[in-house]
Amino acid sequence: MKMEEKPIDLRSDTVTRPTPAMREAMMNAEVGDDVYLEDPTVNKLQETAAALFKREAALFVPSGTMGNEVAIHILTQPGQEVILEEGSHIFNFELSSMAIFSGVLARPIKGRRGIIDPEETKRSIRPKAYYISPTGLICLENTHNHGGGSIYPLELIEAITSLARNEGIPIHLDGARIFNAAVALNREVSALTKGFDTIMFCLSKGLSAPIGSMLVGSRELIEKARIARKILGGGMRQVGVLAAAGLVALRTMVDRLKTDHQNATLLAEGISRIKGLRIDPTTVETNIVIFQLERLKADAQEFAHQLRLRGLLCHPFDHITIRMVTHKDVNREDILKALDIMETVCAELLQ
Ligand code: TLP
């Protein structure tokens, strides 16, 4: 790669840069002190998000992690267990925050491409006895990041949310990429999130805002969430400059996620034809492509390093697994170039 060329960055959709319309909205944003609830742009973003999900209220938080952890905090009591999928973001990449901040223990269960089964979920609910720590919460992730951007079938969401309701256990959705699921299924986000007590979604992934996530739920829960956010130091001041980008994200960046999904399919199909790489392209449902290396003289770290030298960035998951994520800052041509680079590197590394 020539030094002045920009790499093709498929590490994550978090790398997306704000659009010109976002930058303009940020510059012109009306602001106030949001700790006093006086930032009109934040208020508008929160109302917009609540309306989209057909809920009473929403809260702007700096990150998806904070949104998830605030939800866990307000929905549980110390000493309880939280049922979640073993490859979930909350369990693997939030630094055991649920134990630190909320005093709860994860009870991970195995999913299929990250999707958990209602029966298995039911079996994981702890029996009621004074000497057993009670199940305090269920968390699902849709789309599922480590599951390869997999989408929860609607009937499973319905089965698990009704199970939670019948058992009197609250249920939270890590919907960091729920708009990807909605666009892929051609459904409203509100239809995919019925039955959850709280929903977190990210503005700063495929929707390309520079920062920010939202926690959505009832007015009562969101008022509790505001307190938990403040405890974490997440009370922000003239943050309308960021909320302004979030509003543009919701207005302009949802429908175009289809293009990311098409590019992900193109990428996966190309990968399936490269000797040395293994993927079933029919499993790719949204913008995340996870594949394995086979018969290469390199592990995933070394493979990623070789790609980087040629201007392609990816995210190694384990010693043989690589993740690539499509987003608005890579186009079809970049995908074709990425496939060429991978083909060259594999040809050099095949045993
Ligand atoms: N995911 C990031 C990394 O942390 C792995 C990525 O590149 O995919 N839930 C899900 C499902 C996520 O994928 C992420 C971020 C989060 C929550 C946390 O969001 P942030 O990074 O805003 O705290």
CATH number at residue 338: 3.90.1150.10
Domain span at 153:
20-252
Residue 315 has which token pair?
């995210």
293-298 contacts: CB < 8 A, separation 24 or more? 293/320, 293/321, 293/322, 294/320, 295/350, 295/351, 296/346, 296/349, 296/350, 296/351, 297/349, 297/350, 297/351, 298/349
Rounded distance from Cα 176 to ligand 1 centre (Å): 7
Question: Does the pLDDT at position 3 exceed 80?
Answer: no
If one counts the domains in the chain, the total is 2
**Which pLDDT tens digit goes with each residue over 68-110?**
999 999 999 999 999 999 999 999 999 999 999 999 999 999 9
Given ligand 1 and candidates 9, 11, 13, 14, which is best to mutate, with the most ligand atoms within 8 Å of its CB?
A: 14
Per-residue pLDDT tens over the stretch 288-324: 999 999 999 999 999 999 999 999 999 999 999 999 9
Q: Which of 219, 252, 285 is the last residue of a domain?
A: 252
Please check whether residues 288 and 144 belong to one and the same domain.
no
Residue among 209, 210, 214 at smallest CA distance from 178: 214
Using the atom order of ligand 1, give the atom closest to the CA of residue 177: 11
User: Does position 226 have pLDDT exceeding 60, yes or no?
Assistant: yes
- Do 247 and 280 lie in a common domain? no
Mutate to test the pocket of ligand 1, among 69, 72, 89, 321 (most ligand atoms within 8 A of CB): 89
- The pLDDT value recorded for residue 124 is 98
Ligand 1 contacts (CB < 6 A) are 12, 14, 63-65, 68, 89, 93, 141, 145, 174, 176, 202, 204, 213
Best mutation site among 60, 205, 314 for ligand 1, i.e. most ligand atoms within 8 A of its Cβ?
Answer: 205
Does some domain include residue 260?
Answer: yes
> Residue 1 pLDDT more than 90?
no
Tell me, yes or no, whether 102 and 217 share the same domain: yes
Exposure of 219 by Cβ count < 10 A (0-12 exposed, 13-18 middle, 19+ buried)? exposed
* Average pLDDT across the chain, whole number: 97
Whole-prediction pTM:
0.98
Residue 152 sits in a domain whose CATH number is 3.40.640.10
Which 8-state DSSP code applies to residue 144? Answer: B
Closest by Cα among 64, 58, 326, 68 to 204:
64
Q: Is residue 112 part of a domain?
A: yes
Asked, for residue 178, whether it belongs to a domain, the answer is yes
135-177: per-residue pLDDT in tens? Answer: 999 999 999 999 999 999 999 999 999 999 999 999 999 999 9
> What is the predicted pLDDT for the residue at 4?
61
Got the DSSP string for 189-227?
HHHHSTT-SEEEEESSSTT--SS-EEEEE-HHHHHHHHH
Position 276 in a domain: yes
Last residue of a domain, one of 197, 221, 252: 252
